[in-house]
Amino acid sequence: MIRILAIFLFLFMPLQATAQVLPDPLSDTVSDFADLLPPDSEARVVAALTKGRAQTGVHVVLVTMDRIADHGGAGHRIEDYAKTLFNQWGVGDASRNDGILVLVARTDREMRIALGSGYEVIWDNAAQRVIDRYFLPAFRDDRYADGIEAGIPATFDLIAAPFAAGADTPPEPQKTWKDISPLAIFGLFFAGIAGLIVRSALADVLVRVKPCPNCGKRRLSRHREVIEAATQTRAGHGLLHTHCDACGWDRTEPYTIARRSDTSSSGGFGGGSSSGGGASGRW
């Protein structure tokens, strides 16, 4: 009987030892376990994730780790680990399964963009382009904050936004200078100069048409700052900043953002799932 018990314990204990606990999210935007982001950079990334979610309804989450082995991923590929973490957290809307999890493992020197099961396989190509063009160039120089700040907006622009808008396929990537012939570069250069001149003149007319209340000159500029994004259940609010470039006059006014009328989720985790789609990168 003792021998049978000893054999049972011998077989069972390794299974118990390999059972690993995945981490809980630090927030529904950024879980920076590796401390890759300085406070100002993290604030900008959180703002980009919050704004992107409010505009598209797509829940994108950033997770950083030194090694996935330190967070329940020992012995697992990053592709499998990201899928498991995605599903345990429930990233994205449960009915649309359109969530996106961006996982960066610094010491492992690899990353993964995991897509919800609502994305067809063709969207894996878009995820790969985002990794190769926006995240990895900075990561190769160990500039992780720079890569993340470039990659998160690109994740919305090339994946989340077109998918939410109903696109069947990802948008074509923009040409890089390597893709353009020298003759075309000269043409684009001169056309760009002309375009800048025309655009600047038009912007001056439109933006500076109203006189400054303080000095009377038509040198006003204006931008909106979102303080709290609107949801389906409540209105949001922000600040409208008006500035005179001539005399330095400033005015800040609160404004209300109307409640969202669509079905997108505005906060927390929505119970979404992933079937393993996405792309990986190593540096």
Give the DSSP letter of residue 254: E
pLDDT digit string, tens, across residues 205-241? 444 567 888 988 888 876 667 677 555 455 567 777 7
* C-alpha span between 71 and 21 (Å, rounded): 7
Mean pLDDT of 266-272: 87
Bridge partner residues of 101 (DSSP): 61, 114
The 10 Å Cβ neighbour count of residue 172 is: 8
- Please enumerate in sequence order all residues whose Cβ is within 8 A of that of 220, keeping only pairs 6 or more positions apart, or say none: 207, 208, 210, 211, 212, 242, 243, 244, 245
Tell which residue, 146, 129, 83, 135, has the closest CA to residue 110. 135
Dihedral sign for Cα 269, 160, 56, 226, please: positive
The backbone torsions φ and ψ at residue 258, rounded to the nearest 5 degrees and listed phi first, read: -60, 150
Structural domains of the chain ordered from first start = 17-172+275-282 (3.10.310.50)
Residue whose C-alpha is closest to residue 138's, from 99, 174, 111, 100: 111
To which H or E segment does residue 18 belong?
Answer: helix 2-18
**Can you give the pLDDT at residue 205?**
43
At residue 78, the 3 state secondary structure works out as: helix
pLDDT of residue 91: 98
Encode pLDDT of 62-108 as tens digits. 999 999 999 999 999 999 999 999 999 999 999 999 999 999 999 99
Sign of CA dihedral 240, 44, 176, 182: positive
Q: Look-up: residue for tokens 């991923």?
A: 73
When the pLDDT of each residue in the chain is averaged and rounded to a whole number, the result is: 81
Backbone angles phi, psi at 257, to 5 degrees: -105, 125
